[in-house]
Amino acid sequence: MRIYCAKDYYHASRVAANIISAQVIMKPDCVLGLATGATPVGTYEQLVRWYEKGDLDFASVHSVNLDEYRGLSAEDEQSYRYFMNSHLFDHINIDKKNTYVPDGMEPDAAKACSAYDEIIRSLGGIDLQILGLGHNGHIGFNEPGSAFEKETHCVRLSRSTIEANARFFDSIDRVPREAYTMGIKSIMQARKVVVIVCGESKREIVRRAFFGAITPEVPASVLQLHNDVILVGDEAALADCL
Ligand code: F6R
């Protein structure tokens, strides 16, 4: 694992955007695995800036997102599809037809999940997967206790994740209780993984995930077994890792 420690969120976002840019430049028809949440917002802003300067071309890029709330439509402002459109896809020249997010409106979970796995397979797998890290060690919506061998599946969100995500909703009661998420196996099959971690509140879980025991109780700890992981963070989150 390589670690890039930047002094703050802005600079960590630039490092992450740099890695994504390098991927897009080296392989213009690459498959990017993307994440939502607060952490990658700065990374996406930086990619948009470089695109606007003419430094990046996303015309042949495909993307697959990690997860989506079950029951939220693309038009719902809290859906991850809406997030991706508004933070990235609406501002770059990626063809929206080439961007994939699990279908939160498909009520048949087995169908939604197997269709998503089929999309990832038909694209030839993920070249570069971007991840954030939950305070409980989750990646995607793979909560503590998740089996390592799962591909896309439906999960019930843990209480701590519902509470953490309530900041994006009018009230905690409006946070969906279920989501479709790529599984740990899907994530581990990505050829390269970049985990972005920022802020003091992530410090403890970063230490446990990357320097503690490999256990389903800390889902991100499985990344210690991946042979191409880059951990990008700010000094606050990486304080125990340097
Ligand atoms: C988002 C996702 C989640 C987040 C994690 C961290 O698509 O799958 O695993 O990456 O919850 O969220 P933030 O960045 O808001 O701290």
The CATH number for 20's domain is 3.40.50.1360
Residues 6+ apart with CB under 8 A from 110: none
Pocket of ligand 1 (CB under 6 A): 35-39, 66-67, 132-134, 138-141
Q: Tokens standing for 60?
A: 């042949």
Total number of domains in the chain? 1
Q: Tokens standing for 98?
A: 């080439």
In a domain, 169, yes or no: no
pLDDT confidence of residue 242: 77
In a domain, 180, yes or no: no
Burial of 22 (0-12, 13-18, 19+ CB in 10 A): exposed
The answer to whether 105 and 73 are in contact (CB under 8 A) is yes
pLDDT per residue over 125-134, tens digit each? 999 999 999 9
Q: According to DSSP H, which parts of 62-202 are helical?
A: 80-87, 109-122, 159-165, 184-188
Residue 60's domain comprises 2-133+186-193
pLDDT confidence of residue 176: 95
What is the spatial order of strands in the sheet that 178-181 belongs to?
67-69, 178-181, 153-156
The answer to whether 202 and 135 are in contact (CB under 8 A) is yes
In a domain, 34, yes or no: yes
In a domain, 170, yes or no: no
**Known active-site residue 68:** no
Side chain identity, residue 208: R
- Tell me how far apart the alpha carbons of residues 51 and 56 are, in angstroms, rounded to a whole number: 5
Q: Tokens standing for 207?
A: 């230490």
Sign of the dihedral through C-alpha 32, 142, 136, 80: positive
Q: Which of 133, 129, 37, 130 is nearest to 87 (CA)?
A: 37
In a domain, 24, yes or no: yes
In a domain, 120, yes or no: yes
pLDDT confidence of residue 115: 98
Residue ranges of the chain with per-residue pLDDT less than 70: none
- Strand 178-181 relative to strand 153-156, pairing: antiparallel
In a domain, 209, yes or no: no
**Nearest protein CA to atom 5 of ligand 1, as residue:** 134
- Centre of ligand 1 from the C-alpha of residue 48, in Å: 20
In a domain, 141, yes or no: no
**Nearest protein CA to atom 14 of ligand 1, as residue:** 39
